[in-house]
Amino acid sequence: MSTTTTPQSDMTAGLSEKQRQIYHYLRENVDTQTYFKSRLIAQELGLSAKEVGANIRAVCDAETELSIEKWGYSSGTTWMVTA
């Protein structure tokens, strides 16, 4: 029996704890939301917007089922996230 999906633990193996927190937050909310502001992610996770900005790039580059793209900068950075 073969599977075509990668186990979630394998997808986040190379990420730091903060990066995993960001990834899991986005993964849990991507079904109901497409655009995420760094400052709002930060509020939800108890991080600063700067910490989110510094760590989300690694989440973007990780091989996960999420597509994360810097979308705009108006009152903070906005990220477009799709599954």
Please check whether residue 83 is in contact with residue 66, taking contact to mean a CB–CB distance below 8 angstroms.
yes
Q: Return the domain boundaries, the chain.
A: 16-82
Its pTM stands at 0.81
Q: For residue 9, is pLDDT > 60?
A: no
Q: In whole numbers, what is the pLDDT of the chain averaged over residues?
A: 86
The closest alpha carbon to 66, from 34, 37, 44, 39, belongs to: 34
Region 16-82: CATH code:
1.10.10.10
At residue 13, φ and ψ (nearest 5 deg) are: -60, -40
pLDDT tens figures, 20-43: 999 999 999 999 999 999 999 999
